[in-house]
Amino acid sequence: MNGLDIKIKGVLTDKYTEKDDVPTKGCMCLQTYLVEPHEVWYKKHRVTLINKRSMKDTIKIHETAFVTATYRASNEALSKDKYSTYWKNPKTDKWIKNYVEKVSLKEPFTHCLRNRFFYETIKQLIDNKEIEVLINFGCGFSMYPFLFGKDLINIEIDQKDIINYKRKEVKQLIKEGKLPDREIHYIAKDFNLEKDELEDEIKSIVKGKPSFVLLEGVIFFLSKESTNELIELIGRIQAPGSYFGSVSFLDSIEKTDCFKRLISFFEEEVILNSKFEYLTLPTSYYQSLPSYELIEHEDYVSLSKEFSPTDIVEDGDLILNENMYLLRRKMHYP
Ligand SMILES: C[S@@+](CC[C@H](N)C(=O)[O-])C[C@H]1O[C@@H](n2cnc3c(N)ncnc32)[C@H](O)[C@@H]1O
């Protein structure tokens, strides 16, 4: 080992490369330099080997959108996403193979269940004429706009790289007759940074119409503060009686081996040697939202019973059990 990156709370504070020929095995000691006698306490320090694998084999957080799309393509009959296959590519296939072997073989299956749940829920609300707008926060390469009729107004929001790529590819696929033409408003924004402009832009499209907001596979990557602000924003853009679908992990997932494998995998292969800050939420978080009532709560066990009775999953160390929440915007909200 001749290179050392020192980070505090994931922020690089020093970088050092040893030029001399020093032994690559031995002990590591921590020390500080000060003239006066002093005492130092070290808290929660950890040492991670810098990954020598090529950067081209790793993926960034926003590229997980390719991963979830590819999962849905693994069983189109179950996911009901017949267009997910357009996002498949060799790099993602290779990454998924590595990921499912190291974390959970059930990930493609459970993500098909997740899409199926929201597909059926949104379809029913459209059929009942309860919603007119679908707003997908962190849409990635979800294809809901093309799975429903042309009267639905769609707002797709994600980071710039995803939105620019999706907009370009979708335009081409529509031109080639591979996708039906739909009303889609693309918004490129980072939820952590640009919420004020985001609210005005969405309101100018929604114009008070009843909507379905989807926050699927996103909360895990956001901070608690950002999530609170985002959900407050969602409350302000949704008309009373509108619906909000959200996905998150319960705090108890942290105790499972599967989740521990997921975090190790992310730290070794996605964010490379930084501490991965993720968010889990208790169900009480949703129950206590002042502007919403919780009307349905599912997980992968209940969804597998409903949509795949011949392959029911069990909660435990083999699956990353996510929770799907369906909420309705209250009619009267303080
Ligand atoms: C795992 S993917 C899920 C994509 C899609 N919802 C699905 O279920 O297939 C997570 C998505 O969240 C988006 N995302 C994460 N953090 C974000 C942020 N701060 N601002 C905007 N989008 C973000 C990523 O770019 C990515 O598209």
Residue 25: inside a domain, yes or no? no
Residue 179: inside a domain, yes or no? yes
Residue 6: inside a domain, yes or no? no
- Using a 6 Å cutoff on CB, does residue 68 contact ligand 1? yes
Specify the 3-state DSSP secondary structure of 54: coil
CA 71–ligand 1 middle distance (angstroms): 15
Q: Are 301 and 321 in contact (CB under 8 A)?
A: yes
Residue 20: inside a domain, yes or no? no
Residue 13: inside a domain, yes or no? no
Signed CA dihedral, 56, 62, 67, 70: sign only: negative
What is Dmax (Cα atoms) for the chain? 75
Of all atoms in ligand 1, which is nearest to the CA of residue 191?
A: 20
- Using a 6 Å cutoff on CB, does residue 169 contact ligand 1? no
Of all atoms in ligand 1, which is nearest to the CA of residue 218?
A: 12
Only one residue has tokens 């992310």, namely: 266
**Pocket-testing residue among 83, 85, 158, 220, ligand 1, by greatest number of atoms within 8 A of Cβ:** 158
Q: Are 75 and 115 in contact (CB under 8 A)?
A: no
**pLDDT confidence of residue 297:** 98
For 27, counting Cβ atoms within 10 Å of its Cβ (0-12 exposed, 13-18 middle, 19+ buried), the class is exposed
Can you give the pTM of this predicted structure? 0.85
Q: For residue 108, give the CATH number of its domain.
A: 3.40.50.150
pLDDT per position as a tens digit, 166-199: 999 999 999 999 999 999 999 999 988 877 789 9
CA distance 181 to 145: 9
User: What φ, ψ does residue 294 adopt, rounded to 5°?
Assistant: -80, 120
Residue 224: inside a domain, yes or no? yes
- Using a 6 Å cutoff on CB, does residue 322 contact ligand 1? no
Residue 223: inside a domain, yes or no? yes
**pLDDT confidence of residue 105:** 97
Phi-psi domain of 10 (left: phi exceeds 0; alpha: psi -120 through 50; beta: other): left
Print the domain residue range for 293: 56-329
Q: Are 74 and 131 in contact (CB under 8 A)?
A: no
Mean pLDDT of the chain: 90
Residue 85: inside a domain, yes or no? yes
Give the neighbor-by-neighbor strand order of the sheet with 211-215. 183-188, 153-158, 133-137, 211-215, 243-248, 323-329, 292-299
CA distance 100 to 275: 21
Other Cβ atoms within 10 Å of 170 Cβ, number: 23
* Mean pLDDT of each 10-residue bin along the chain, 334 residues long: 69 74 73 78 69 59 92 98 97 94 97 98 98 98 98 97 97 98 96 85 97 97 94 96 98 95 87 79 98 98 98 92 98 71
- Using a 6 Å cutoff on CB, does residue 319 contact ligand 1? no
pLDDT per position as a tens digit, 129-158: 999 999 999 999 999 999 999 999 999 999
Of all atoms in ligand 1, which is nearest to the CA of residue 115?
A: 8
The number of domains in the chain is 1
**Pocket-testing residue among 59, 62, 99, 270, ligand 1, by greatest number of atoms within 8 A of Cβ:** 62
CA distance 231 to 223: 12
Extract the runs of DSSP E, i.e. beta strands, from the chain.
Answer: 3-8, 11-17, 133-137, 153-158, 183-188, 211-215, 243-248, 292-299, 323-329
- Using a 6 Å cutoff on CB, does residue 269 contact ligand 1? no
